[in-house]
Chains A and B, each alone.
Chain A
């Protein structure tokens, strides 16, 4: 089945220790998104790639970076995680501006 896959599903890191979250998709969608979602809140868009074009949200901290080496893969790098970065990180894909499909998420814990 075509799908959006995220690894790992659970990630525990120490304060300040870099971490990388990965997302892959078999839907062949040209747009990929990273969201941060905290408990009882709506998902918050961090950035998205339209094909190879990177689009950063104005309020996304510099601590968050992303890479998209090819159509299928996208990575979220958190350079120096703080306690406030503990959250669910959701990857989503879409074909153009059509509806978005989400991966299962990576739950990040920062100790």
Chain B
């Protein structure tokens, strides 16, 4: 099956610093990538949808200036948490979706990145 990787898998940073998380589709081209956030014992909440080469679409309540998304290529999307604060500590999961050979119905999820802001 399709593989989506995330890097890093775990990051601890100081309050006020920025953290970049990468999401890569390893064996397919992803026209659309999604970023989710998951707080402990809660479900995944969609943060934003990004299409290659265009600006991301953010869900209501998600600050676009705080969570910068760059979908630079068909295999890479990055999420930068700017000026991170302890309340940004969460599990961030990306997913990638494509059309064609692998179909359009199944999103392939990355393993997630656990961010802890001290």
Q: Bound pair: A and B?
A: no
